[in-house]
Structure 1
Amino acid sequence: MPSHVTPPRGMRDFLPAEKRRRERVLATVRDVYRSRGFDEIETPVVEGAEFLWSGLGGDNEKQVFAVLRRGLDLDAVRAVGSPLELADLGLRFDLTVPLARFYASHRAELPTVFRSVQIAPVWRAERPQKGRYRQFVQCDIDILGEPGQQAEVELISATTDVLDALGLRGTTIRVNDRRVLLGVLAHWGVAPELTDRALIEIDKLDKIGVEGVATQLRELGVGGDDLAAQLHQLGEATFDSITGSAPPAWLDAEAAADLVALRDALPGATLVLDPTLVRGMGYYTGTIFEVAHPDFSYSLGGGGRYDGMIGRFLGTDVPAAGFSLGFERIVDLVELDGADDDGLAVLHDKTVPPAELVALQRALLAGGEGRVRLERRAKNAKGQLAALAAAGFGRFASVRGGESVDELQIRAIG
């Protein structure tokens, strides 16, 4: 027998109580998104190599769990120079690339403007650490086919409604636009071929700070001695500072107008301008946003507009925008209302015939009970009832045989 029987690193088992908690949170997410007119879809856990390594996933493409081609033996594996030559499939690293492939496959069967929900696990072969896993659940909503700002407004509105329904107060939405970032880099004189690398460095601000990013950018030949001061000033920009009589020289006026219009269209949400927000995925083309909470240094979700992705698969450009919630981070923060103790346990002697027990269970369910467990009575009644309470059973009834539903004496545990 193996000495270690734990899950693979970065992956987890969930005991029944935690699984129930996760499902209750997911049910809230689903209900809110469904009420806003989004339709749930499902895609395979694996996608073709031509999609996963298409150049749209940024650094996440380096973290794909590749699936070896069938029929390869060890000698063939050793003879191949590049690992990608061995794989024709891989586990999905997010839900956006699969959605783009899905839409390209089924466009004729979908409405002109398609509002999608997909809630499912994804996999990334990165180094596990606290709060970062190799397998985790994403909750995505996307709107495909809507070229105007209506898409962003609906996505942010629906997501803030989910956060409110989960009781997560005090969240803000940090917003930016890729056009603003490109304007900043052009103002600094960054060569076009260095744009992507410069954005990668700016995206590290929360990890290595202003001085660290300034150092990395100088190594690319970006900016001068005052680059750290410029980065700091950039991070302090607000909606008020870009709408004044003297907007910053780096500001893309059209993008700024769109961001202000987005803020004005969402009076119920708190939008904060952040010109340093990058979002690491390489497929974003316009507005980008992240959910921030004052008690946490990390974001609780994010997304943006990615108008160029579906055209890569379909051959015809389709406007698209999406918002992804970080479920693994959110589920630990949620305080669920109401105790999870709605179950009824039927404790029985071993002499009660199984057919009678099953008939009693069916009658209880037909009478309105939502959850009924049949369990043989243990000698340690106190320990048994404590275990049942921990499993979500707040009531119990004892049977010795021959009782009808009306004769059961149902009592609370505890």
Structure 2
Amino acid sequence: MRDFLPADKARRERVLAVIRERYRAHGFDEIETPVVEEYARLHAGIGGDNEKLAYNVLKRGLDADAIRAAAEAPADLTDLGLRYDLTVPLARFYASNRGQLPTVFRSIQMAPVWRAERPQKGRYRQFVQCDIDVIGDASARAEAELVIATLDTVDALGLEGGTIRINDRRALDFMLDSFGFDPSERPGVLITIDKLDKIGPEGVAAELRERGATASAVDAFEAFLRRPMTMEYNPYGERQIRKVLPDGAPDDVVAHLVGIGEAVLAARGASSPIGDVPLVFDPFLVRGMGYYTGTIFELAHPSVDYSLGGGGRYDGMIGRFLGQEVPAVGFSIGFERIVDLVEGLEDADARSVVLVHDRDVPVPELIAHKAALVGAGARVRLEQRTKNLKALLERSAADGYTEFATVAPGDAELEFKALD
């Protein structure tokens, strides 16, 4: 959990402003939810390993006897917790406010979340998520809107060249079934498959055997990974998807994925089916959240070797709160990772001015100068002259100010100079 100095905070807010503006341009509306949710909701078995990282809030008014009595059941000590993502709160929000929302609801959430992580570069215990979600639309249009808005936002931040890796949990289930893995093995098998990029086919096969997975299924999976593949280029579409899946992939799943690509292609203005669609089908993309039921995706950029965001379809979650199934899909930009990559995003303020005044300038004169500039749309800071004027001006420039003027008693007109 970090403090941010003024320049860092201003930079973060500029990036957030661009993200918010692009999301809104694509028809999404911003909401706000509380930072705490009920303990039972945060620990409902749908948040994957993040549930283990949740910060829980001790019940109010517990005495020593109550704490001792709950020693064998720590969950009895808490009734609330800090949110570890924005999707669980959104599901609760929609279930509570459905009657006041449109049939297809497109939401924006940009807010901090908390996880008891081991801090390291790019991983913090408090961090900001920037989520967009579409609730109430089961068609490929929902995923397409999310993908298009996300790519547009990344481009607006000066990070052109981003791509979306995409898969479908139903395609993963089909693969594991076709290899012969028992359904009870699936969670552990997916955890291992998710390491394919890091440990390779041999490492994945070895770890699956160590886990005690069905031997014949591991053999079939290893043979699939080692099968001969032709090297011809196939753009995102049905041919590419079917080529990297076992024979007999479900037609409805393939059609859904193809439909997303066609919509993205249309939005990007490509003139033919072999246009440059920034989508890559990855049959081994897993994503760890337990609530995903269909399409899953991750945002990649050639400047880094880690994902900059991700999401997926979670059609089963809202039904837990509402009592009836509601389709839903979301995409989250990893703000803490994105903000470190963005360069050259200037403050939109018309002017940013420092008034360096002598000690004896009357306060009414100073405030009048400042009020006139503020009234004309400038951002203004008052600074009393110091012996080391250069250091004062350098600090002001580091804080984002671009001009300064000196003020002496009785000055009617001020002369402004650029802060270099």
CA distance in 2, matches of 1:331, 1:98: 24
CA distance in 2, matches of 1:208, 1:134: 27
Query: SS of the residue aligned with 2:145?
Result: helix
Q: Give the match for residue 359 of structure 2.
A: 350
Deviation digits for residues 278-302 of structure 1, max 9, x if unmatched?
A: 1111111111111112232211111
Query: SS of the residue aligned with 2:112?
Result: strand
Aligned to 1:59, which of 49, 59, 64? Answer: 49
Unaligned 5+ segments in structure 1 are 1-10
Q: Give the match for residue 103 of structure 1.
A: 94
2:51 matches 1:43: no
Query: SS of the residue aligned with 1:77?
Result: helix
CA distance in 2, matches of 1:52, 1:213: 31
CA distance in 2, matches of 1:81, 1:388: 56
CA distance in 2, matches of 1:236, 1:204: 24
Q: Give the match for residue 3 of structure 2.
A: 13
CA distance in 2, matches of 1:277, 1:49: 30
CA distance in 1, matches of 2:181, 2:327: 28
CA distance in 2, matches of 1:388, 1:278: 47
Q: Give the match for residue 135 of structure 1.
A: 126
Decide whether the 8 Å contact of 1:187 with 1:250 is kept in 2.
no
Moved more, 247-256 or 188-197: 247-256
Q: Give the match for residue 323 of structure 1.
A: 331
| Residues 103-122 of structure 1: pairs in structure 2 closer than 5 A | 103-122=94-113
CA distance in 1, matches of 2:53, 2:292: 19
2:222 matches 1:228: yes
CA distance in 2, matches of 1:280, 1:216: 18
CA distance in 2, matches of 1:234, 1:298: 28
Query: SS of the residue aligned with 2:402?
Result: strand
Query: SS of the residue aligned with 2:164?
Result: strand
CA distance in 1, matches of 2:99, 2:315: 19
Aligned residues: 400
CA distance in 1, matches of 2:149, 2:121: 29
Decide whether the 8 Å contact of 2:245 with 2:283 is kept in 1.
no
Deviation digits for residues 35-79 of structure 1, max 9, x if unmatched?
A: 111111111111001210111101111110111111224554344
CA distance in 2, matches of 1:236, 1:25: 43
Q: Give the match for residue 200 of structure 1.
A: 191
Q: Give the match for residue 376 of structure 2.
A: 367
Shift of 1:140: 0.0
Q: Give the match for residue 150 of structure 1.
A: 141
Deviation digits for residues 190-212 of structure 1, max 9, x if unmatched?
A: 11222222222222334443333
Query: SS of the residue aligned with 2:84?
Result: coil
Shift of 1:271: 0.6
Aligned to 2:58, which of 68, 73, 84? Answer: 68
Moved more, 125-134 or 193-202: 193-202
Decide whether the 8 Å contact of 1:241 with 1:247 is kept in 2.
no
Query: SS of the residue aligned with 2:41?
Result: helix
CA distance in 2, matches of 1:413, 1:242: 55
Q: Give the match for residue 252 of structure 1.
A: 250
Query: SS of the residue aligned with 2:341?
Result: coil
Q: Give the match for residue 19 of structure 2.
A: 29
Q: Give the match for residue 390 of structure 1.
A: 398
Moved more, 37-46 or 77-86: 77-86
- For residue 52 of structure 1, what is the amino acid of its counterpart? L
CA distance in 1, matches of 2:228, 2:196: 12
- For residue 128 of structure 2, what is the amino acid of its counterpart? V
C-alpha spacing 1:62/1:250, structure 2 compared with 1 (3 Å): farther
CA distance in 1, matches of 2:299, 2:115: 22
| Residues 285-300 of structure 1: pairs in structure 2 closer than 5 A | 285-300=293-308
C-alpha spacing 1:234/1:167, structure 2 compared with 1 (3 Å): farther
CA distance in 1, matches of 2:260, 2:230: 20
Q: Give the match for residue 411 of structure 1.
A: 417
Decide whether the 8 Å contact of 2:42 with 2:83 is kept in 1.
yes
CA distance in 2, matches of 1:211, 1:243: 24
CA distance in 2, matches of 1:49, 1:250: 42
CA distance in 2, matches of 1:131, 1:311: 34
Deviation digits for residues 94-118 of structure 1, max 9, x if unmatched?
A: 0000000111111111111111000
- For residue 28 of structure 2, what is the amino acid of its counterpart? F
C-alpha spacing 1:236/1:114, structure 2 compared with 1 (3 Å): farther
Moved more, 28-37 or 205-214: 205-214
Query: SS of the residue aligned with 1:112?
Result: coil
Q: Give the match for residue 115 of structure 2.
A: 124
Moved more, 45-54 or 204-213: 204-213
Decide whether the 8 Å contact of 2:37 with 2:83 is kept in 1.
yes
C-alpha spacing 1:318/1:236, structure 2 compared with 1 (3 Å): farther
Shift of 1:339: 7.2
CA distance in 2, matches of 1:229, 1:132: 36
Decide whether the 8 Å contact of 2:139 with 2:256 is kept in 1.
no
CA distance in 2, matches of 1:298, 1:264: 26
TM-score (norm 1): 0.91
RMSD (CA atoms)? 2.3
Shift of 1:241: 4.3
Shift of 1:236: 10
C-alpha spacing 1:85/1:23, structure 2 compared with 1 (3 Å): same
Decide whether the 8 Å contact of 1:48 with 1:88 is kept in 2.
yes
State the identity as a percent.
58
Q: Give the match for residue 310 of structure 1.
A: 318
CA distance in 2, matches of 1:363, 1:159: 41
- For residue 292 of structure 1, what is the amino acid of its counterpart? A
2:168 matches 1:170: no
Q: Give the match for residue 274 of structure 2.
A: none
C-alpha spacing 1:292/1:232, structure 2 compared with 1 (3 Å): farther
